[in-house]
């Protein structure tokens, strides 16, 4: 896989960087870290919205903020494909990047580890390591998940591995379909 496209890079630079180096077990320092994570996420979300490029919803699943859950989606051929998104903050965070999971796509693509954890580019890890502790969750989403979705979803859709929910006749989720 190539390096990131220019749009990704420019976006990444606009996300505020973090400063506190603390993992989930660091107590108060982690709280501080968490605050910074939120701030970065808010800025990233606002940025996406202003560019009409909103593509995920996440929220902390536990009070410590070590588990996150949410949804992410991708529009292909005017059809919105939406997937669940979950990930844990590893103990060695921020030295180790969080492993983003798309459990719905588990076993459907090669670019994924067991359990739905997405495979990142070779460039990701060194970049992350280099920018520890300045990169946070927002950066991981921007650098990891967004390119992955853009690359894999069209393939998955074209190969028929992933079908739009309208086609699957899941009427319960029809409200999520958007047609322009």
Residues in the site for other proteins, rule: CB under 8 A? 31, 34-35, 38-39, 41-42, 45-46, 48-54, 57-60, 63, 65
Rounded to the nearest 10 degrees, the angle between the axes of helix 6-14 and helix 28-50 is 130
Which of 8-38 are b and which e, b meaning 16 or more Cβ less than 10 Å from the residue's Cβ? eeebbeebbebebebbbeeeeebeebbebbe
Of the two residues 36 and 152, which places its CB atom closer to other proteins in the complex? 36
We find the least distance from the C-beta atom of residue 3 to other proteins, in angstroms, to be 26
Among 72, 119, 132, 142, which one carries the catalytic annotation? Answer: 119
Question: Is residue 132 annotated as a catalytic residue, yes or no?
Answer: no
For residue 45, give Cα distances in angstroms to 31, 64, 73: 21, 22, 14
List of residues 6+ apart from 147 with CB closer than 8 A: 4, 5, 8, 121
We find the least distance from the C-beta atom of residue 96 to other proteins, in angstroms, to be 22
Calpha distance 22→90 (Å, rounded) = 11
Which residues are part of the catalytic machinery?
A: 119
């Amino acid at each position: 896989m190539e390096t990131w496209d220019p749009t990704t890079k420019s976006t990444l630079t606009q996300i505020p960087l973090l400063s506190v180096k603390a993992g989930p077990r660091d107590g108060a320092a982690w709280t501080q870290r968490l605050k910074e994570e939120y701030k970065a996420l808010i800025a990233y979300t606002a940025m996406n919205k202003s560019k009409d490029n909103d593509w995920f919803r996440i929220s902390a699943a536990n009070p410590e903020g070590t588990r996150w859950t949410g949804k992410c989606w991708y529009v292909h051929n005017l059809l919105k494909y939406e997937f669940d998104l979950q990930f844990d903050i590893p103990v060695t965070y921020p030295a180790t990047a969080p492993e983003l999971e798309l459990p719905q796509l588990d076993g459907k693509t090669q670019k994924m580890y067991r359990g739905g954890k997405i495979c990142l580019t070779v460039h990701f890890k060194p970049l992350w390591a280099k920018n520890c502790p300045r990169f946070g969750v927002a950066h991981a989403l921007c650098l990891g998940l967004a390119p992955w979705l853009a690359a894999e979803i069209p393939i998955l859709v074209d190969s028929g591995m992933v079908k739009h929910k309208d086609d699957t006749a899941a009427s319960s989720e029809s409200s999520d379909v958007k047609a322009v």
